[in-house]
A and B are shown apart, each in its own frame.
Chain A
């Protein structure tokens, strides 16, 4: 399972776009990149997953370059309610997989 590395913390202001980059240099061919969001006093929730190029949903966009050694979670026009910890996970498709969480990136959005 690929080890992921992401910044411990980030600060932003309301209305700005926030990009959180995750490094996964030893990602395997069949690994997907998955992101979770955890609000204070809540459990994590799945927000987006991708394998390559770009994936977009109502919450965020995920950019994965061709070499797949990193990925970027993009949150457009953040609000105070986007203050949360964001976790990047690499998972192998099929077979045994257990969600493994690192420390994540603590995003604080300021007024």
Chain B
């Protein structure tokens, strides 16, 4: 049982490059989330998708776009990477938006130079 799978696990980008972080869950969950975590900080919500076909901004959406491709997949795109976007990115899912338990992926460590 894979749970939440994120790819890639590590990535180095040059300033101005673009890339897409992929996330897929196999638990038939309705809600999915993208967070970023910086050293010594908690997780900050970037975007979330309460259900297939909907996406909403979180606390720190600037510089990011998302796509809820289908019920399983929720991708995060950096159109023009900046050093300030160097972070660890976590994808999570939950059965519904009101559900207690969120399941997290292993994270993507992104460095922008």
Q: Which residues of A contact B100 (CB under 8 A)?
A: 32, 34, 46, 49, 91
Asked if A98 and B101 sit within 8 Å, CB to CB, the answer is: no
B41, B90, B98 interface centre (most CB from chain A within 10 Å): B98
- For chain A, the count of residues having a C-beta within 8 Å of the partner chain is 24
Asked if A87 and B42 sit within 8 Å, CB to CB, the answer is: yes
Instruction: How many A-B residue pairs have C-beta atoms within 8 angstroms? Tell me.
Output: 58
- Using A42-B106, A43-B92 as known contacts, say yes or no to A102 and B42 having CB atoms under 8 A apart: yes
Asked if A46 and B40 sit within 8 Å, CB to CB, the answer is: no
A interface residue numbers (CB < 8 A to B): 32, 34, 41-46, 49, 87, 91-104
Q: A96-B98, A97-B98 are known contacts; what are 20 more A-B pairs with Cβ within 8 Å?
A: A42-B107, A43-B106, A44-B104, A45-B103, A45-B104, A46-B101, A49-B100, A87-B42, A91-B100, A92-B98, A96-B50, A98-B33, A99-B33, A99-B92, A99-B94, A101-B35, A101-B44, A102-B42, A103-B41, A104-B42
